[in-house]
Structure 1
């Protein structure tokens, strides 16, 4: 996410925030190594991390940016795509400012709720934009993973390159099937999701339906909706429920058979409070 500001002295800045995977490749200066160390440390504590960067724009660059954004915002077709492209043209040559970390505390009863959902026969997929280390730490804290859960990291399957990918996926599937009484969890990053769904969809389908839970991290909003669509189209035709509390969850909520958003939850709690009061 980026904004353009002009100070009272007339200097124009582009200020950008986002995930480290999105910001750091665009950086050309700033405390890169130190920030990476901080990010890793924060993520291992289960904190939610954001990077911040800036760029000074000349008046010519600012005028060109205004022209690009005006044309994009008044486009008659693919308006959002063109707006993103206009900002992407500006979001280069950034100066890294640093990173922030926020503790997102779990609500009381999360572990118990997840356990009850599993006992009811529901399979739980977590779709998050968080860094993998953060997402895994939260997975343990919420009871989604236990000390005995075997985590199958799809990143490792990709490490040996495309020629070995299918072999590694089949090896992971064999590992799961040979230990049917052990809990398994699949960990997938958004960067790998497209290849798994579009090229190795059958293997990914078999893997994801044989594990106890799936964690998808570093997800873009559109990818969250894509995963829900993927689950809806499984041979068993499951009924999907998507729960989210932010604007980046809207696509996922709309795609599911049943969608629950923050306003719905707040309304339900308010109504339930009135019922209890009576």
Structure 2
């Protein structure tokens, strides 16, 4: 049963722009993501989706514009301060510590000083219990003592998602969660997103798998050449002439 969540603005940008060497990766992007919903951000390759994500999460600084999260301006905050505010994210290319165990990968995600604390032997029993519960939830608890490099790419995606969940964020940003993942694990990731959303988590998902996007999302925003060109329910967006032109040139 889905938790009742007040619908509103979870995260929004106004006039967000970022250029690289004169090339506009994101241009004057004004976007509102809906709280308590599964929001998808789609667009052709090179349309600025990942750069937009990076600006929102503090990985890179925008040239202009603002990012607001639950009424607070987070535009110039560092990534760790944005994470503490309640935004967690995964990456297009999965980021795990390959020579650390699956369990250690989750524990390092919640250490105040990251890897340094973990290597010093700092282990909190409550955090270990939470990490193990999350491994059960994502379905890789049997790999707890395996080094992350020995997992399949899909399993690493599940591990990365579990790492995001260790911080218990309100809003979760996933950058191509289905990329390079076999169909069985795509189904598992989709189920997890739906379950977590039913519990009140807001999602922002960048994804190229249109079948997944249209079946999973409540609200879809389409980017082309660094700016939003259409938004709305999946069934509306997929028939929008501007979207067809951006993807198909028709």
TM-score (norm 2): 0.40
More helix by share: 1
Q: Which of structures 1 and 2 has the larger relative contact order (alpha carbons within 8 angstroms, sep 6+)?
A: 2
| Higher CA-based Rg | 1
